[in-house]
A and B are shown apart, each in its own frame.
Chain A
Amino acid sequence: MDFEDSSEEAEFRSTVRRWLDENAKGAGELGGDEMAERSDKTFLAAARAWQAKKAKAGYARITWPKEVGGFGGTAIQQVIFNQEEGKTKVAGLGGPFGIGLGMCIPTLMAYGAKEAIGRYVKPALMGEEIWCQLFSEPAGGSDVAGLRTRAEKSGDTWTINGQKIWTTGAQISDYGILLTRTDPNVPKHKGLTMFYLSMKTPGVEVRPIKQASGASGFNEVFFTDVKIPDSQRLGEVGQGWQVALTTLMHERLAVGGGQGGGLDVKELMSLARTLELEDGPAIKNAAVRERLADWYVRSAGLKYTTYRTMTALSRGQQPGPEASIAKIVVAPKLQDISAFAMELEGEAGALKGDDAAAHGAFQLGWMSAPGLRIAGGTDEILRNIIAERVLGLPQDVRVDKDVPFNKMPSGR
């Protein structure tokens, strides 16, 4: 038992490090998690340039075969690259391409025609074209299969009407994969069909959503009589759910990594060192120490769980189910730690920005935590997934299972 790279891994790491040293300089001075939400031109230009550099070196997608522009490498090599890239100033520049390369393009490669694969994979790898995923709807969040956006066929053309929501990056995307309802007369999972389309197709309208935190990383996307040819269908008519599962499987692999806005026990300890409470320094307060220990064992537990996952990858094995626990641990912990920090700050904890302690980092964390607990699978859905897929508990009763979609009751 140790934390060392194997000799091949160490060699790969030093190659990557050397390449990053030579190439990452000046690629972009921006850093941090807010990058994913950014869409301004300077940022996008820097992101595209960096992506192109990576793609030319084969590093844009380590595990993809060389024929499609990947590196032909292993999962552990991808982890090593991510770790090393994460230490540089270019960390975060990959944000705009994550959904496309992590979910949309793999789906296209699995179900798309040869010509489509030849046309779209490379520009996506190079950062020339950005993709988004058009699944969630006002009526279908956790229950994605409850979506209502209609696709109706006439000749070789489909007409799309409806609305998507929570679409990350739609405002900067060139293409999207789109899950629609093509048959409302059958139960919900059976009447879905997947397409891809250009976001510039007439009738597509993107509107940013102002989040509770004030930021705008997500969008609503409206479809009004949008015409797309049948050649842009992915998978068979009515098989959209199976196709979507391919995408979502990739989502779980793509998400999962280190989230949490960098706020953890270390930051809370730094704060506790500087603050005075009624009975002296906060760091000496027994209640504060107890909470610090509680969160530390969760952070450390997660860190070493990641090491176990990496070990499995390093041995060429599939990671165990423990890899699925990260987001349930990280998101509520962020909310708890930031709320507790504000408690320690007292009345001035209500301030944000430079008038607050740590330049308002805890207030920012607290504002973003509710989103983190919902996006990419709510805490509740993730618990269901662990209970059903890891522990093998039976599914909940599905009252809508055999009911045609258009006979299903609907609330708000």
Chain B
Amino acid sequence: MNFDFSDDQKMLRDQAHKFLSEQCTSKVVRQVLEGDQGYAAPLWKSIAEMGWLGTAIPEIYGGLGLGYLELCVIAEELGRVLAPVPFSSTVYLFAEALLVAGSDEQKKRLLPKIAAGELIGTFARAEGVGAVTPKSIRASFKNGKLSGKKTAVADGRDADFAAVLARGSDEPGERGLILVLVDLKGKGVARRAQDSIDPSRKHAELTFDNAAAEPLGKLGEGWQLASRVLDRAAILTAFEQVGGADTCLAMAKDYAVSRYAFGRPIGSYQAIKHKLADMYVNTELARSNAYFGAWALSTNARELPLAAAAARVSATQAFDYAARESTQTHGGIGFTWEVDCHLYYKRSRELGLVLGSQRSWKDRLVTELELTNAA
């Protein structure tokens, strides 16, 4: 049994942890949260210089070619400090879309730029409120032109490129769907910044009016390809969520031992102890599910869709619970702007929605169980 990261991977995690705890303080997060900039540009630059953006991008496409286990340990550390950079949109979604669906030419053209930090990418699916289903996709792609609207696109305000799920023919359902690649700096693209629950990640509405676009994979495969990209992103995001949950637990614990009420630390009361014990249990379960996801991702295992859904649901539940109850443990001060609880409270929900809500992932999970009979 060798179900853990290697010493080299742990060393990478320690380096990332040290770097981020110095360079990504909550002050940096708050500058993005409270300001107009879409992300922390100096931090983004340093991250690019260290090569993290190309961790899982093969060397032939300008990456480090290390692998997904290395990317997972970095993701956990980014999540721990709520790094306000477009890492997940660019790396977990856009780069993965290229790797999963792109032609060799597309990969050669764009992946080196991602690895070098010269290109921010994102992924656009939703067009309105409600579940994203094949039927809900109306943006249309014809003769190399994309028209339509996408909403709640994370980092959409600052991205250079997007992978967009669109309708490429009149065929109904999945058969008419296609994934396309759009240069967001091109003609016919309009962006509108949208207010969101977590302004430390900027969201935008993208409007396409005969914007130039190119197919990313084949017509009719758009939904499947998008699902594969989401599975991969779900596992990497789960590591961010576990990192975030860890921080919430650490904050709640620090507060519970130093805050006194009725003559003793509040952490000596069982009402607080049991809450924190539950946070710990949920987070450890989520970590273990994320580990299995990491294994599936790094080996391209048959179990990947099930592993992704389980990692996604487990991590979303753990981070939600930890963020809510960490705030609760802090009492009134936890509901103030100056204490960091709300940063995590906001990010936990944002991460829980950005790739689709728990509800839809739970359904996918059970569908996978039905297919594989693995329960």
Question: Which residues in A have some Cβ–Cβ distance to B below 8 Å?
Answer: 1-6, 9, 76, 264-266, 269, 283, 286, 289-290, 292-294, 296-305, 307-308, 310-312, 314-315, 322, 325, 328-329, 380, 382-384, 386-388, 390-397
Contacts and interface: CB of A to CB of B under 8 A. Distances in A.
The 10 closest A-B pairs by CB, nearest first: A301-B285, A293-B362, A387-B273, A304-B288, A383-B277, A393-B267, A297-B314, A307-B3, A386-B277, A266-B375
B280 A391 contact: yes
Most chain A CB inside 10 Å of its own CB: which residue of B257, B286, B295, B369: B369
B369 A296 contact: yes
Given A301-B289, A308-B291, A314-B2, A384 B375 contact: no
A293 B366 contact: yes
B206 interface: no
B45 interface: no
Contact of A290 (B1, B309, B359): B359
B253 A301 contact: no
Nearest to B262: A397
A1 B369 contact: no
Interface string B332-375: 00000000000000000000000000010111011001100001
A10 to B, nearest CB: 11
A267 to B, nearest CB: 9
A384 B2 contact: no
B316 to A, nearest CB: 10
A314 B267 CA distance: 35
B314 to A, nearest CB: 4
Nearest to A307: B3
Contacts of B370: 269, 283
B2 A3 contact: yes
Given A264-B375, A392-B253, A308 B3 contact: yes
15 contacts: A4-B2, A5-B1, A292-B366, A293-B365, A294-B362, A296-B310, A296-B369, A300-B292, A303-B288, A311-B1, A322-B284, A386-B280, A387-B277, A393-B256, A393-B272
Contact of A1 (B4, B270, B280): B4
Given A391-B249, A391-B277, 4 more contacts: A1-B291, A269-B375, A293-B365, A301-B314
Interface of B: 1-6, 69, 249, 253, 256-257, 264-265, 267-270, 272-274, 276-278, 280-281, 284-289, 291-292, 294-295, 298-299, 309-310, 313-314, 317, 359, 361-363, 365-366, 369-370, 375
Given A1-B295, A394-B265, A289 B366 contact: yes
Contacts of A388: 273
Contacts of A5: 1
Contacts of B4: 1, 308, 311-312, 315
B130 to A, nearest CB: 15
A265 B267 CA distance: 35
A304 B292 contact: yes
Nearest to A390: B280
Contacts of B287: 322
Given A289-B366, A297-B310, A383-B278, A393 B359 contact: no
A293 B362 CA distance: 5
Contacts of A394: 257, 264-265, 267-268
A296 B375 contact: yes
Given A297-B289, A307-B3, A1 B362 contact: no
B261 to A, nearest CB: 13
